[in-house]
Structure 1
Amino acid sequence: MSEMQTPENGELNRMEETKLFCEETKEAQKAAMEKRWKDFKKKMMENRGIILTKFDLLGNTAIHVATRSNPELVREMIEMVPEAERWHALCKPNGEGNTVLHEIVFSKKAMEMAEVVFRFEDQLVPREMEEKKPLVELRNNRGETPLFVAAMHGKLKILRYMANRVGTVGTVDNLPKHFRRSDKYNALHASVIGQHFHVAIWLQRKDETLALERDEKQLTSLQLLSKMPQVFRSHIHLGLVKSIIYILLPDEYDNDEQCQLFKQKKDEENGKEDEPKVCKSAISNINYSFWKSLAAEFEGIDHMWKEKKKHKLAEQLASTLVKYDLSWQVSSNEYNRTLLITMPRDPLNVAKRRRVSVQKREERRKNIEERPERIALFIAAKTGIVEIVKKFLEVYPASIYHVTKNKQNILTMAVKYRQKKILKIIERTGTMESLVGQITDKERTVLHEVARMDYYKAEHLAGVAFHLQDELRWYDTVRRFTPKHYNMHSDIDGHTPEDMLEIEHDGMLKEAQKWLKETAQSCSTVAILVATVVFAAAYTIPGGTENGTPVFLHSSEFLFFTIMDVVALATSLASVVVFLSILTSPCDLWDFHKSLPRKLNLGFALLFLSLMTTMLAFSATMLLTIRLEWKNWTSTLIYSAAFFPVTIFAIIQFPVYVMVRSITKHLWKQVKKVFPTRLIERCMSHC
């Protein structure tokens, strides 16, 4: 029996040996977790020997943990350590290699705590620091100084405070080295990735060489910023109301230090006089207080205000970094305007090539990133960051002619990534004729690139048919400014632009055909149902008849009912005809450019009108039946109830409004072509 108990006793002994924390430490851990700092202090005072021991699994000491509380507790914890061991306590790292000063960065009262630590450091300077590094120069396991950690986490106040410490007693006046790690990663990279743009701007002013340095992936800070379109205003899509609120919001989010710094610099650059500045300051303070109160009540406004501040700071940072980017000067330009095109060898069997090209397309997509783009201008162009592209062309106009090693220019980037805003910027520069002739190393023109779907990103549209229509519109837009003979040019695979368009969009075409047929069938069923109802209502006269004559023949409500019923029947039957024509129409690729979407939108509009008039006819019937007065408040309530399902239908069937807007815009363009703008203005003034 004793032999059976021996292993168990040995196991218990090993468990006792592996206990990491004593009972006093466990009680202190509970107090720290529950933020009972008085109890935490009491436990430490009862057993001061555990202050510098391992307090938790992260390797923190009790002083590290005290940085989560208040400056007074930090001071008391350091004073509990014997004077001979205080310098060791301040320098002792945790599991990540962070000293107390590293951990102070994450505290809400970081500056007050840092002041306490520096006060102890200054007291130890004569005896301890003659041959040792000061606290601000100590690095953690990743090679980060406390200044680097502050910059990486967007703590500008403590960063500036510790930067002022560099160069004082016991330190070397070499601030730039604090912004770099042992690898190629610097603080500017870290602040850009963390979207702490106010810190990035401050760092760039302190050390201009940071903008020229590259990380391990050979990317500069501007190239990293160019990969983040979500931090710029041009990437955010707001509605009408939100756009108005966004414009009215002040540029500053709060009265923090960085906003005051940027505002002061902006005022100095503009050279404003003192007296108008005081007046404007008073007005801006009133406006700021008004929006601040609204932001406190409405979370949406508060979020939008923060986003606006981020957009402004990102744009300001981009404007600064663009001046240091000269990568566009190394270009592979050649004479672009070529009249010698490569004609297709044989007529292409597109239907057969569709099946063959599926495997090639998958292999090509796997190798898309073989040559990642390194030019910040082109990265911004393909991600659609209008602010960076405009700033580049403003500072370096010649950068628009840059050509990459694989023979692509900024127009190629804008076209294949479907960046319509960037294309408009290029058109306004007047360089389209020079850029459109570029042929890539794969012998592809801009029409080939717009036909490819390797970089396709679906828009927020109603269905697959409208997605395909958007693709065909984009192709047609590019085709208008491309030389005509480029339509016959074949690439390295023997594909003309039209061939590639059909091959690449074959899957989308099949999905669009299926979606269109199903939608037309469903809508035609609804339209037939509406037609049946209103046709029956025409023979069921409200109020009945006397000798074949309607009782309410001379009533205005009866006339209104008759008109609405006739309109409802006509529009519902017309919508049935339109949807049936869609079912019997050919559904080839270019039929989705104009013909089929127009029919579908027309059918939606007629169906919407039939539903609306049906509900109005029903309301008129109710008024006639219960004999309410036309101007009575109950009649208003009935008509409001009648419009409720119509309103829901209008909101859901958004393509109707898209159609109306596009038709109106198209008609206005045609009118401007026929009649000069000045003539229209004169007619409007006479009217």
Structure 2
Amino acid sequence: MAEALRMPSFADIQAAAADFARGFDYNYYRPLHIAVLKGDWETAEKFFNDDPGALTSKITTLGMTPLHVAAVGSQWKIVEKLVQLMSSEALAVQDFVGCTALHYVATSGSLNAAKAMVTKNRSLTQIITLAGHTPLLFAITSTRSKQFVRYLAFTTTDDAPACPFSGPSANYLVTFLTAGGYHDITLDLIQLYPNLATMADEDGSYILNVLSQLPSDFPTGSKLGFLESIIYHFVPVELDHPPPSNRKEDLEDPHGTSSDHQCYFGSLIWKAIENLVTRIKIVRDRKLRHKSAVRLVEYLCSKASTNDNDSQFWQSFVSGSILSNATSFGIVEILSICLQFFPDLIWNYIPNEGYIMQIAIKNRQEKVFNLLCDMPISRTFVLALDDSLNTTTHLAARLGPPSQLGSISGTAFQMQRELQWFKEVEKLDHPLHKHAKNKDGKTPWDLFRDEHKGLLEEGEKWMKDTSNCCMLVSTLIATVVFSAGFTVPGGNDQEKGYPIFLNDNIFMVFAVSDALALFSSITSLFMFFSILTARYAEEDFLKTLPNRLILGLTFLFFAIATTMIAFGAALCLMLREGVKWVAIPVAFLAFLSIALFAVPQLPLFLQMVASTHGRGIYHPQRLW
């Protein structure tokens, strides 16, 4: 890849420039050069009127024409004016690097400028630089405008000298196109040029190789918030459209209003909504990328499965590195589709990595693990030993990768997750392997303890720090509500000692809320205190400590809520005679205070509950 993008050496360019500079009067063209860079058309036009030949002359030491300079400076109005004045042949002039003006337009992504140039000279898309690059390759690696890339992709042909879709640079074209996330364009291109689908080297398919390193381009690797998940589910995405084939329409459609454009942005209603809510368009684009990536993998595997050299070809097409990457990154879609087309891939042993099942366990990829567990033969690989006599349980005993641990909030719950993985794999492994020793003489449990010493200490510190902070809040609440129980609103009757508002409904709300706040805060205090005095063995992080923390937080949340209710009731009792509407702002402020505390903590709390009392790791998914 790096070789294909190798630019001519600086010495070569310098030699060509030096040779040109011997008869070049740069001072003469400097005013024109600066005027074009600044977008000063009046000065440039006056220069052209005085010297018509300057319109196509090389005005820089790098051999650039005014059109090149305007494109480099992103002066699109001047570019369009120059295109109108220049002949079609002049548009194809190259500088000393071999770039036409269209190459520089491609780095900036001005669709109107590109269409104006290509409409006048359709061969511009085929001209290559000294390094063999077409404007399309420049666009893929430089611009982030999918519409611009799509336009060049389907106005570029496979004609000589470029041969971008069948020549030596075709593999780099599809590699960069896939890496840029233009999967729907890639899908359309390989239908026009089927050879692109089966291009592979010793590392396997070029496209699959890139896709196997892009987990966020697939549904299972993309993390969405609650609102984004709802939008993702309902927003429409259409892929069932034929690739553009009418090149004339593409060239003559300067505003991109073709049927392909309409299909790309969906119905008129959704377009209107997207204009109002930007997030919807972002989620829709992500869903389109996900759906295109899955469809692309299906198409590639379909093509590979029908190849004449069936067995030998697809084993190299879906190489070990692709399987290893897809498993390590947890891209279930790639593995699922590949195994559906080529079930024998499950037997692949990847040097220094192991079988797919073992890689999934080492990298803590739950979804891949459950997908493979649906295949009974996969469980056989759990019994395999590696060169160091490590069982699969030994592999599960190693500390998980930082990327997976970092996705779990709180080191205590990271430790819990590590324990859950170890226990789950231990159940699947053979009972004799429970006490089996590797070359270092360690059993799986010995290895787990050694690997997780640091995480155990951090988990203990996290638990104690969290408990101390929560105990402080619980103690404060208990102190306040205990005092409020003896200094009730309105005071007490001097003769009988009963509260003056004893028969008032609002007072009963205050009394009950105050009592509940006291009892729940004291209970949470006990729970957090029990965490501080726990023994902190490894297995305590599995259930015991998380349960205590969950109970402590539950009672603390309840204590805060009832304290606010008690305070609101007391305030209403004291002010209702003078300010009758006082209950409304008090209730609102009480609810707001509770929400401001609970909402940021709720995701972590729910994660704790799900991690401790959820369905666990092992829940096989159907492959067929």
2:464 corresponds in structure 1 to 517
1:269 corresponds in structure 2 to none
Matched, 1:241 2:235: no
Q: How does 1:101-500 map to 2 (within 5 A)?
A: 101-103=102-104, 105=106, 106-109=109-112, 110-118=114-122, 138-146=127-135, 148-149=137-138, 155-163=149-157, 166=159, 176-178=165-167, 180-181=168-169, 185-214=171-200, 220-252=206-238, 260-261=241-242, 288-323=267-302, 374-406=320-352, 408-453=354-399, 455-457=401-403, 458-500=405-447
- Normalized against structure 2, the TM-score is what? 0.80
Provide closer, same or farther for how the CA distance between residues 173 and 103 of structure 1 changes in structure 2, counting only shifts above 3 A: closer
Provide closer, same or farther for how the CA distance between residues 285 and 580 of structure 1 changes in structure 2, counting only shifts above 3 A: closer
1:593 corresponds in structure 2 to 542
Provide closer, same or farther for how the CA distance between residues 539 and 321 of structure 1 changes in structure 2, counting only shifts above 3 A: same
CA contact (8 A) 2:412 2:462 kept: yes
Provide closer, same or farther for how the CA distance between residues 198 and 35 of structure 1 changes in structure 2, counting only shifts above 3 A: farther
CA contact (8 A) 1:628 1:635 kept: no
Amino acid at match of 2:157: A
Q: Give the deviation of 1:247 after TM superposition.
A: 1.7
Distance 2:311 2:81 in 1: 57
Q: How does 1:564-575 map to 2 (within 5 A)?
A: 564-575=513-524
Amino acid at match of 2:287: K
Provide closer, same or farther for how the CA distance between residues 138 and 291 of structure 1 changes in structure 2, counting only shifts above 3 A: closer
CA contact (8 A) 1:186 1:215 kept: no
C-alpha RMSD over aligned residues? 3.7
1:336 corresponds in structure 2 to none
Distance 1:328 1:516 in 2: 56
1:267 corresponds in structure 2 to none
Distance 1:588 1:173 in 2: 66
Distance 1:567 1:439 in 2: 57
Distance 1:173 1:613 in 2: 74
Q: Give the deviation of 1:583 after TM superposition.
A: 1.0
CA contact (8 A) 1:568 1:609 kept: yes
2:8 corresponds in structure 1 to none
Amino acid at match of 1:309: L
1:681 corresponds in structure 2 to none
Q: Give the deviation of 1:375 after TM superposition.
A: 3.3
Bigger relative contact order (CA 8 A; separation at least 6): 2
2:485 corresponds in structure 1 to 538
CA contact (8 A) 2:125 2:155 kept: no
SS in 1 for 2:338: helix
Distance 1:285 1:76 in 2: 31
- Normalized against structure 1, the TM-score is what? 0.73
CA contact (8 A) 1:111 1:158 kept: no
Amino acid at match of 2:362: K
Distance 1:57 1:633 in 2: 80
Q: Give the deviation of 1:50 after TM superposition.
A: 4.0
Distance 1:645 1:330 in 2: 66
Q: Give the deviation of 1:217 after TM superposition.
A: 7.4
Deviations 1:253-280 (A, max 9, x none): xxxxx8742699xxxxxxxxxxxxxxxx
Distance 2:351 2:193 in 1: 32
Q: Give the deviation of 1:570 after TM superposition.
A: 1.0
1:640 maps to which of 581, 584, 588: 588
Distance 2:578 2:311 in 1: 79
Provide closer, same or farther for how the CA distance between residues 378 and 616 of structure 1 changes in structure 2, counting only shifts above 3 A: same
CA contact (8 A) 2:470 2:528 kept: yes
Provide closer, same or farther for how the CA distance between residues 24 and 300 of structure 1 changes in structure 2, counting only shifts above 3 A: farther
Provide closer, same or farther for how the CA distance between residues 633 and 242 of structure 1 changes in structure 2, counting only shifts above 3 A: farther
Higher mean Cα deviation, 398-407 or 539-548? 398-407
SS in 2 for 1:159: helix
Q: Give the deviation of 1:638 after TM superposition.
A: 1.1
Provide closer, same or farther for how the CA distance between residues 524 and 461 of structure 1 changes in structure 2, counting only shifts above 3 A: same
CA contact (8 A) 1:204 1:210 kept: yes
Amino acid at match of 2:389: E
CA contact (8 A) 2:183 2:293 kept: yes
Amino acid at match of 1:609: F
2:86 corresponds in structure 1 to 78
Structure 1 unaligned regions, length at least 5: 1-16, 80-85, 119-133, 253-257, 265-283, 334-372, 670-687
Provide closer, same or farther for how the CA distance between residues 59 and 521 of structure 1 changes in structure 2, counting only shifts above 3 A: farther
Q: Give the deviation of 1:660 after TM superposition.
A: 4.7
Q: Give the deviation of 1:543 after TM superposition.
A: 0.8
Amino acid at match of 1:314: A
Deviations 1:303-325 (A, max 9, x none): 11221222222222222223456
Deviations 1:48-80 (A, max 9, x none): 45445544576532132455636763445534x
Distance 1:616 1:651 in 2: 18
How many residue pairs get aligned? The number is 559
Distance 1:156 1:555 in 2: 73
CA contact (8 A) 1:150 1:156 kept: no
CA contact (8 A) 2:132 2:162 kept: no
Amino acid at match of 2:236: P
Q: Give the deviation of 1:143 after TM superposition.
A: 1.7
CA contact (8 A) 1:101 1:135 kept: yes
Q: Give the deviation of 1:146 after TM superposition.
A: 4.1
Structure with greater Cα Rg: 1
CA contact (8 A) 1:226 1:385 kept: yes
Q: Give the deviation of 1:633 after TM superposition.
A: 4.7
Amino acid at match of 2:129: N
Distance 2:397 2:203 in 1: 31
Distance 2:465 2:194 in 1: 60
Q: Give the deviation of 1:199 after TM superposition.
A: 3.0
Distance 2:541 2:394 in 1: 20
Provide closer, same or farther for how the CA distance between residues 215 and 148 of structure 1 changes in structure 2, counting only shifts above 3 A: farther
1:99 corresponds in structure 2 to 100
SS in 1 for 2:32: helix
